[in-house]
């Protein structure tokens, strides 16, 4: 285990052709306090709609039969609620320390892409990573909560929830090659949905960048090199969870002041023990660690499983 200041970074050994194997499946990507209510704008300026009881205002920890609290870091964050998802924004790093979204797979809507990226006026511009970081380079604004994930239920509610995901606290800098293509990272959640019980295709999904102290500096922020994700669902009355890490270290180079994809190498996706994520990302995952599906399979303790296709996932 290699220490990264106050955070940990686990070293990874991957085969030289890992990038090539993934080329056809490129991926997408304890105290807290809420933003001051006297600074809250009208709902339609950040969340898409006025809430009338028909939608959950923020991530709902009781969405699954077993309550699952939103994973939280051990330092102060801004808690920002949106339709059906919540972002815990680290104001010092100007990026999310954690996000959580509830997904009802049985009523997901396939709607045209609408929405424009915008700052959240509930927090200062100097506490979120805005458009200047993504200008004239090979960086994409990578959704943490996927656009489609909160888009379920009535069409109007689904569209508003999807549009609410286009807010900068819900984005993180990702190398362009990392965020486009056939999107293995995006496909993880769809894949887990197929394993959810047919009578209640529900998931709670948590995603964020790993905010390591040795991330490379760029335009006033530190570019995260890794991202973590935990998917949780109900399995025959018991909580089940699976953890993942996605690594873009080989695609990020800020040495000359311009961030660009490296000519060699590529992103790498791993299924990891959920118990690794608190050490890696500095968040409390609560009951998710004990619910890890890897713990019941013949997987070596602490093993990071490289993923080259969705069929490599252990569920």
The domain spans of the chain are: 2-312
How wide is the angle at C-alpha 91 spanned by C-alphas 87 and 93, nearest 5°?
A: 100
282 within 8 A of 228, measured Cβ to Cβ:
no
* Structure confidence by residue, pLDDT tens digits, 174-196: 877 654 333 566 677 677 766 65
Mean pLDDT of the region 6-32: 36
Taking the complete model, does pTM exceed 0.95, yes or no?
no
pLDDT band (50, 70, 90) for residue 64: very high
In terms of average pLDDT, the best of 86-100, 190-204, 231-245 is: 86-100
- Comparing 132-141, 159-168, 279-288, which segment has the lowest mean pLDDT? 132-141
What the block records as the tokens of 210 is 């790993």
What is the structure's pLDDT at 28? 32
* Structure confidence by residue, pLDDT tens digits, 211-255: 999 999 999 999 999 999 999 998 888 999 999 998 877 677 666
SS (H, E, C) the chain: CEEECCEEECCCCCCCCHHHHHHHHCCCCCCCEECCHHHCCCHHHCCCCCCCCCCCECCCCCCCCCCCCCCEECCCCEEEEEECEEEEEECCCCEEEEEEEEEEHHHECCCCCCCCCECCCCCCHHHCCCHHHHCCCCEEEEECCCCCCCCECCHHHHHHHHHHCCEHHHEEEEEHHHHCCCCHHHHHHHHHHCCCCCCCCEEEEEEEECCCCCCCEECCEECCCEEEEEEEEEECCEEEEEEEEEECHHHCCCCCCCCCCCCCCCCEEEEECCCHHHHHHCEECHHHCCCEHHHHCCCCCCCCEECCCHHHCCC
Residue 94 neighbours by CB distance under 10 Å = 22
Name the more confident of 38 and 191: 191
Beta bridge partners of 174: 140
Under CATH, domain 2-312 is a member of which superfamily?
A: Extracellular Endonuclease, subunit A (3.40.570.10)
What is the structure's pLDDT at 294? 86
Mean pLDDT of the region 286-294: 95
């Amino acid at each position: 285990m290699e220490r990264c200041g106050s955070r940990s970074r686990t070293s990874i050994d991957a085969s030289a052709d890992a990038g090539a194997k993934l080329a056809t499946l490129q991926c997408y990507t304890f105290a807290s306090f809420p933003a001051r209510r006297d600074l809250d704008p009208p709902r339609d300026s950040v969340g898409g709609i006025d809430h009338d009881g028909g939608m959950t205002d923020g991530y709902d920890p009781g969405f699954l039969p077993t309550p699952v609290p939103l994973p939280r870091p051990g330092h102060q964050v801004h808690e920002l609620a949106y339709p059906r998802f919540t972002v815990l924004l680290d104001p010092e790093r100007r990026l999310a320390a954690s996000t959580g979204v509830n997904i009802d797979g049985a009523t997901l809507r396939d709607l045209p892409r609408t929405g424009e990226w915008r700052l959240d006026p509930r927090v200062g511009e100097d506490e979120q990573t805005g458009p200047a970081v993504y200008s004239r380079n090979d960086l994409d604004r990578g959704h943490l909560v996927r656009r489609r994930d909160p888009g379920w239920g009535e069409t109007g509610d689904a569209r508003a929830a999807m549009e609410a995901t286009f807010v900068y606290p819900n984005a993180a800098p990702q190398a362009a090659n990392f965020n486009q293509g056939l999107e293995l990272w995006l496909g993880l959640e769809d894949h887990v949905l197929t394993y959810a019980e047919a009578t209640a295709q529900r998931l709670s999904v948590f995603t964020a960048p790993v905010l390591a102290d040795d991330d490379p500096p760029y335009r006033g922020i530190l570019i995260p090199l890794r991202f973590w994700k935990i998917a949780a669902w109900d399995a025959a009355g018991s909580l089940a969870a699976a953890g993942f890490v996605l690594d873009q270290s080989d695609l990020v180079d800020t040495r000359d002041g311009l961030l660009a994809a490296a000519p060699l190498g590529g992103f790498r996706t791993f299924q990891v023990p959920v118990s690794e994520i608190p050490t890696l990302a500095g968040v409390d995952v609560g009951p998710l660690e004990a619910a890890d599906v890897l713990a019941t399979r013949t997987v070596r303790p602490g093993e990071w499983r490289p993923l080259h296709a969705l069929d490599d996932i252990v569920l």
